[in-house]
């Protein structure tokens, strides 16, 4: 990947996450439509700030038609928001973390002071392993149906071959993450989930994320508006995202230059962080991300349990930003890094630095 | 500190056709992007970020195709965003890219929208059965025809207006080398004699299915100063959405469209759009939407839009030309159709629209809508930089 100017991008306007809500993620939600799954979460963040839909300056969502199995699936969710009178609104066909990025950009223009961001995904109606193969190169790769677990296993084996990790170390990541999730009422899996058998060598089921359904929402606010809405706003000091080549054959799967670059632009390396919420659906990916972000052992990584405890596709990245922000809100963190990923083997990565005001 | 002014310095599109069997999706988007870069006399390294849009992924059968397209669009090592707001997406995509410049997040951004409809079947993509929701098995025409009928009933517009629009747009398309339909033998009689598809919408009053892509290079003031050709300046841009279905919805003239236009005019300092705007590219997939949107966008009083169309004002030689390029009626790569409207508006104020150039166009409106008329995106571009 061609190196670009690794300068820190300093946002002109102070913007913070002031509220976060998520569902209790579940293996299956047959009894709920996507809108029904999302509605309580929307109400939760609005109630937390006292805002009404009509008070929100900009709304942006993230979702995927391929999970829903229908075109324009986001239009029904918009009806649930209650877009009347008409609202200023947009949608990314990506994880909600990128919807947050679009909303943050909108607030940078000064055209809005508050934003509602939400995302959702139901993996239960189909086979998410099969569905995700459809996002690969449609001419040369997708016809072979290589699934996300198989691709992650290639990455894990490359890391083991490079001496960066081994199977016991990966099991340790799984155990630590799921033990943390015991304290997270939204998590789908806790410490009772074992390492299990091989899914695709060298990955065992414990190295893989659970398949599940879930939704999340955050509210962003700028400057004094954020201070009005939240006792301790989680200020977004920097946020950036980068993409890499799609073909696995042209990438070094043991490194994540896009995460590194986004982190440089977001200012991660200016001062130490105390918390990291990493969107690493596979244990092996945490190894790659820790290295790219330069995280030491003193950093609390995925205190929520991370994507190994709950991985609602299209919401799991936004949840990392929300979890990091919530820790700042409640005073458990002063400076956190949050990360989201998209595409096979960490192809696309978003990094944000969140800070609370000094105490 | 106000917003950074946003300039369009590069525009590129493909020759739109029913099936581009000579290129992959990647080849198609690369062609449009390369033309936009050439127009701006820039290269891939000058681009800081890429914002891409298209309509539903089911239209080509590729989930989140931006991942696979990163290499083709020179996005490796850069930020890449994928926007999807139904039929309005081409416009929304341009506005998201513009916000990156306006918010001073990036200096120069490539924005692109595409659809390669020949790789799949759009009618199928819109018709997947979902429990507890009404299917759209008749495609878009079946959804919109009753709203056209409501417009006719409400305004007393004669049956002939729809065919006038189609005849005009198809003739305009003959002047646009990139337009899909080039019906050299088109006559008003042929439009009127074409088969009725969804009463009152005739075959020749509907858009085609196209393969195509459209790209633009947006940049800040410093980037505009280096532009080899006159830039188009953004004077206003907005998106508005309203629910798909609810008791108070006016499908003939949705409130979200009115609000969106009002926001754009406020930003651009436009008090009287009919007098102050020189040319309009609006999203007209079925011919009757020209008079409907003329009212919705404030160019005509309620019930009067069809009179503007009938009087010839919206012809290429009229004093409010509409869809100089031939419009969506002549070219419809769905996800790109909104961006083509925005790009054509920019071409006009740059004086680069060739045979379909409106003499002296200084301010032009680009308009897109989507879904069940619930998503709107618009921008107003001018030949001069904005003063505020």
Alpha-carbon gap, residue B379 to B92, rounded angstroms: 10
- Chain B hits for A78, CB-CB cut-off 8 Å, are 241, 243-244, 374
Q: Which one has a higher pLDDT value, B126 or A226?
A: A226
B215 lies in a domain? yes
CATH of the domain at B238: 3.40.47.10
Question: Do residues A171 and A204 touch, judged by C-beta distance below 8 A?
Answer: yes
Q: Which residue of A has its CA nearest to B106?
A: A9
CA-based Rg of chain B, rounded to a whole angstrom? 19
Q: Which residue of A has its CA nearest to B74?
A: A245
pLDDT at B135 over 90: no
Buried b or exposed e, range B215-235, using 16+ CB within 10 angstroms: bbbbbbeebbeebeebbbbbb
A39 touching B, CB under 8 A? no
Interfacial A residues in 226-265 facing B (CB < 8 Å): 240-247, 257-258, 261
From the list B1, B69, B70, which residue is nearest A12 (CB)? B1
Instruction: Using DSSP bridges, classify how beta strands A114-122 and A15-22 pair: parallel, antiparallel or unpaired.
Output: unpaired
- Residue that is written with structure tokens 């003031």 in the block: B221
- Chain A hits for B25, CB-CB cut-off 8 Å, are 138
B247 touching A, CB under 8 A? no
B140 lies in a domain? no
pLDDT at B309 over 90: yes
Average pLDDT over residues B29-48: 98
DSSP A273-315: -SEEE---SSHHHHHHHHHHHT--TTSEE-TT-GGGT---TTT
pLDDT (0 to 100) of residue A3? 46
Interfacial B residues in 114-133 facing A (CB < 8 Å): 119, 125-126, 128, 130, 132-133
CA distances from B319 to A42, B14, B278 (A): 48, 29, 7
Least confident of A323-337, B131-145, B347-361: B131-145
A71 to B244: CB separation less than 8 angstroms, yes or no: no
B200 lies in a domain? no
Least confident of A25-34, A208-217, B90-99, B345-354: A25-34
Angle B161-173/B289-296 helices, nearest 10 degrees? 100
Q: Which residue of A has its CA nearest to B245?
A: A79
B147 lies in a domain? no
Q: Model confidence at B258, in pLDDT bands (50, 70, 90)?
A: very high
pLDDT (0 to 100) of residue B60? 94
pLDDT (0 to 100) of residue B37? 98
Alpha-carbon gap, residue B381 to B364, rounded angstroms: 6
A246 to B244: CB separation less than 8 angstroms, yes or no: no
B77 to A69: CB separation less than 8 angstroms, yes or no: no
B241 to A83: CB separation less than 8 angstroms, yes or no: yes
Using 70 as the pLDDT threshold, list the residues of chain A that sit under it: 1-6
The alpha-carbon gap from B187 to the nearest alpha carbon of chain A, in Å, equals: 37
Average pLDDT over residues B33-52: 98
Question: Do residues A62 and A119 touch, judged by C-beta distance below 8 A?
Answer: yes
Question: Do residues B94 and B239 touch, judged by C-beta distance below 8 A?
Answer: no
B186 touching A, CB under 8 A? no
Q: Which residue of A has its CA nearest to B71?
A: A245
Q: Which of A329, A232, A270 is nearest to A10 (CA)?
A: A270
- Chain B hits for A34, CB-CB cut-off 8 Å, are none
pLDDT (0 to 100) of residue B2? 86
pLDDT (0 to 100) of residue B269? 97
Overall domain count for chain B: 1
A93 to B84: CB separation less than 8 angstroms, yes or no: yes
Measure CA B89 to chain center.
9
Mean pLDDT over the full length of chain B: 95
Q: Which of B158, B151, B162 is nearest to B253 (CA)?
A: B151
- Chain A hits for B238, CB-CB cut-off 8 Å, are 88
Alpha-carbon gap, residue A237 to A271, rounded angstroms: 12
Question: Do residues B90 and B51 touch, judged by C-beta distance below 8 A?
Answer: no
Helix runs in A117-198, H state only:
128-133, 148-161, 167-181
B175 lies in a domain? no
pLDDT (0 to 100) of residue A207? 98
B174 lies in a domain? no
B181 lies in a domain? no
A91 touching B, CB under 8 A? yes
Q: Which residue of A has its CA nearest to B372?
A: A75
Question: Do residues A266 and A351 touch, judged by C-beta distance below 8 A?
Answer: yes
B239 to A258: CB separation less than 8 angstroms, yes or no: no
For residue A102 the two structure tokens come to: 């679009």
pLDDT at B115 over 60: yes
- Residue A235: enclosing H or E segment and its boundaries? strand A234-243
B153 lies in a domain? no
Q: What ipTM, to 2 d.p.?
A: 0.97
Alpha-carbon gap, residue A229 to A20, rounded angstroms: 12
- Chain B hits for A106, CB-CB cut-off 8 Å, are 99, 103
pLDDT at B137 over 60: no
Average pLDDT over residues B142-160: 95
For residue B153 the two structure tokens come to: 């009933």
Containing structural domain, residue B292: 6-119+208-382
The alpha-carbon gap from B105 to the nearest alpha carbon of chain A, in Å, equals: 7
For residue B237 the two structure tokens come to: 């841009």
Alpha-carbon gap, residue B102 to B4, rounded angstroms: 4
- Chain A hits for B52, CB-CB cut-off 8 Å, are none
Measure CA B91 to chain center.
6
Residue A319 burial class via C-beta count within 10 angstroms: exposed 0-12, middle 13-18, buried 19 and up:
buried
- The length of chain A in residues reads 359
In this complex, how many residue pairs, one in chain A and one in chain B, have their CB atoms less than 8 Å apart? Answer: 205
From the list B96, B104, B126, which residue is nearest A71 (CB)? B126
For residue A145 the two structure tokens come to: 């149906």
pLDDT (0 to 100) of residue B130? 67
A136 touching B, CB under 8 A? yes
Alpha-carbon gap, residue A171 to B242, rounded angstroms: 48
Question: Do residues A340 and A311 touch, judged by C-beta distance below 8 A?
Answer: no
Alpha-carbon gap, residue B25 to A32, rounded angstroms: 36
Say what the pTM is: 0.97
């Amino acid at each position: 990947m061609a190196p670009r100017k690794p300068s820190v991008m300093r946002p002109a306007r102070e913007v913070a996450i002031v509220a976060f809500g998520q569902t209790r993620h579940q293996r299956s939600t047959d009894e709920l439509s996507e809108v029904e799954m999302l509605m309580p979460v929307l109400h939760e963040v609005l109630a937390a700030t006292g805002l009404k839909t009509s008070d929100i300056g900009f709304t942006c969502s993230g979702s995927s038609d391929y999970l829903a199995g229908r075109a324009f699936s986001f239009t029904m969710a918009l009806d649930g928001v209650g877009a009347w009178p008409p609202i200023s609104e947009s949608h990314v066909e990506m994880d909600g973390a990128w919807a947050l990025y679009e909303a943050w950009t909108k607030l940078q223009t000064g055209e809005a002071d508050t934003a509602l961001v939400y995302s959702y995904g139901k993996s239960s109606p189909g086979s998410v392993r099969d569905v995700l193969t459809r996002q690969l190169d449609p001419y040369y790769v997708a016809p072979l149906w290589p699934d996300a677990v198989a691709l992650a296993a290639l990455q894990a084996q490359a890391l083991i071959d490079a001496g960066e990790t081994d199977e016991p170390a990966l099991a340790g990541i799984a155990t630590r993450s799921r033990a943390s999730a015991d304290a997270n009422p939204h998590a789908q899996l806790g410490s009772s989930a074992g390492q299990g058998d091989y899914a695709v060598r060298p990955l065992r089921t414990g190295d893989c994320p659970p398949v599940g359904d879930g939704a999340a929402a955050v509210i962003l606010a700028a400057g004094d508006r954020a201070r009005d809405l939240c006792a301790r706003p989680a200020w977004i000091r920097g946020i950036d995202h980068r993409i890499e080549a799609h073909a696995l054959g042209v990438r070094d799967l043991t490194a994540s230059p896009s995460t590194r670059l986004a982190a440089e632009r977001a200012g991660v390396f200016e001062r130490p962080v105390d918390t990291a919420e990493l969107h690493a659906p596979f244990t092996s990916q945490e190894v790659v991300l820790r290295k790219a972000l330069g995280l030491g052992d003193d950093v609390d990584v995925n205190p929520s349990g991370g994507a190994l405890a709950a991985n609602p596709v299209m919401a799991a990245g936004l949840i990392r930003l929300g979890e990091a922000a919530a820790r700042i809100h409640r005073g458990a963190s002063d400076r956190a890094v949050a990360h989201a990923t998209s595409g096979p083997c960490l192809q696309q990565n978003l990094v944000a630095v969140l800070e609370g005001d000094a105490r | 500190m106000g917003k950074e002014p946003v300039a369009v310095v590069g525009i590129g599109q493909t020759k739109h056709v029913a099936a581009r069997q000579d290129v992959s999706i990647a080849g198609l988007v690369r062609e449009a992007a390369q033309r936009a870069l050439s127009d701006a006399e820039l290269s891939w390294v000058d681009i800081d970020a890429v914002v891409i849009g298209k309509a539903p992924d089911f239209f080509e059968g590729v989930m989140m195709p931006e991942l696979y397209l990163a290499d083709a669009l020179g996005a490796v090592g850069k930020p890449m965003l994928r926007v999807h707001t139904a039929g309005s997406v081409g416009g929304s995509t341009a506005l998201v890219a513009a916000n990156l410049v306006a918010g001073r997040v990036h200096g120069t951004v490539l924005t692109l929208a595409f659809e390669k409809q020949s790789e799949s079947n759009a009618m199928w993509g819109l018709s997947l059965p979902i429990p507890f929701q009404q299917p759209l098995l008749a495609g878009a025409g079946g959804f919109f025809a009753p709203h056209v009928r409501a417009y006719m009933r409400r305004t007393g517009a004669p049956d002939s207006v729809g065919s006038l629009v189609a005849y005009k747009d198809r003739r305009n398309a003959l002047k646009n080398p990139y337009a899909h339909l080039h019906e050299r033998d088109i006559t008003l009689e042929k439009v009127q004699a074409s088969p009725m598809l969804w009463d009152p919408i005739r075959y020749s009053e509907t858009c085609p299915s196209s393969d195509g892509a459209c790209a633009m290079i947006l940049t800040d003031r410093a980037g505009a100063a280096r532009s080899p050709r006159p830039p188009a300046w953004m004077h206003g841009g907005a998106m508005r959405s309203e629910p798909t279905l609810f008791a108070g919805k006016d499908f003939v003239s949705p409130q979200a469209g009115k609000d969106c236009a009002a926001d754009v005019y406020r930003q651009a300092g436009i008090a009287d759009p009919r007098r102050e705007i020189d040319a309009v590219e609006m999203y007209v997939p079925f011919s009757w939407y020209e008079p409907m949107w003329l009212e919705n966008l404030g160019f005509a009083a309620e019930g009067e839009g069809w009179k503007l169309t009938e009087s010839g004002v919206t012809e290429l030689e009229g004093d409010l030309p509409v869809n100089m390029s031939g419009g969506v009626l002549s070219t419809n790569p769905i996800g790109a159709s909104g961006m083509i409207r925005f790009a054509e508006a920019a071409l006009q104020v740059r004086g680069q629209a060739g045979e379909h150039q409106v003499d002296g166009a200084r301010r032009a409106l680009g308009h897109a809508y989507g879904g069940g008329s619930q998503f709107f995106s618009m921008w107003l571009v001018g030949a001069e930089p904005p003063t505020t």
